[in-house]
Homo-oligomer: A and B are copies of this chain.
Amino acid sequence: MGHLENVKIAILLAKMHEEIELWYPAIRLKEAGAKVVIVGEEAGKKVKGKHDVPATTDKAYKDVKADDFTGLVIPGGFGPDYMRKNKDCLKLVKDFHNQDKMIAFICHAGWLPISCGILKGVKATSVINIKDDMVNAGVQWEDKPLVVDGHFLSSRDPDDLGDFMKGIIKYLQEHAK
């Protein structure tokens, strides 16, 4: 009943992530009928979040291709601090960008597209902690629960998860084949 039966989303996972920003989007997308693949440094790896809750990756960054997905979701917490120094991860995100596919990020996750150099002139939001990093990267930063600019969707923190997922599902309904 979610109308996302043809949608396949990659969600990125690294240690120290904000757990609810992984789990809520993953479960919400599956509820809506989408396929979800959890992607991290290694496949089949148990990874603990900021609050020690473990999650397990399905695939490694280097084993997946943007071609095979409809879009990308990047949870926040401190996971993106680790993702941004992984070259395979940076390449994967850039591939989604170059294919004009949805890149949705929340909280601290903006660090990753910053390190891909793809946010110049883009309207987006983030947790307040990294606002300066976003602005210095050329973002037109807005203090709103959901900011949509082209294929970029962004939200500020776990309190925005409802708006974040409403925005993502609406976008996917409009853009999925």
Contacts and interface: CB of A to CB of B under 8 A. Distances in A.
Interface of A: 16, 78, 81-82, 84-85, 108, 111, 114-115, 117, 128-130, 132-133, 136-138
Contacts of A108: 81
Given A111-B133, A114-B132, 10 more contacts: A78-B78, A81-B108, A81-B129, A82-B129, A84-B132, A85-B128, A85-B129, A114-B136, A115-B132, A117-B132
A16 B78 CA distance: 10
A132 B115 CA distance: 6
Nearest to A115: B132
**A interface: dominant SS:** helix
A138 B133 CA distance: 11
24 contacts: A16-B78, A78-B78, A78-B81, A81-B108, A81-B129, A81-B130, A82-B129, A84-B129, A84-B132, A85-B128, A85-B129, A111-B133, A114-B132, A114-B133, A114-B136, A115-B132, A117-B132, A132-B137, A133-B133, A133-B136, A133-B137, A136-B136, A136-B137, A136-B138
The interface centre, meaning the residue of A115, A128, A129, A137 with most chain B CB atoms within 10 A of its CB, is A129
A119 to B, nearest CB: 10
A111 to B, nearest CB: 8
A115 B129 CA distance: 9
Nearest to A82: B129
A78 B128 CA distance: 15
A130 B78 CA distance: 12
A128 B84 CA distance: 9
A84 B134 CA distance: 14
Contacts of A137: 132-133, 136
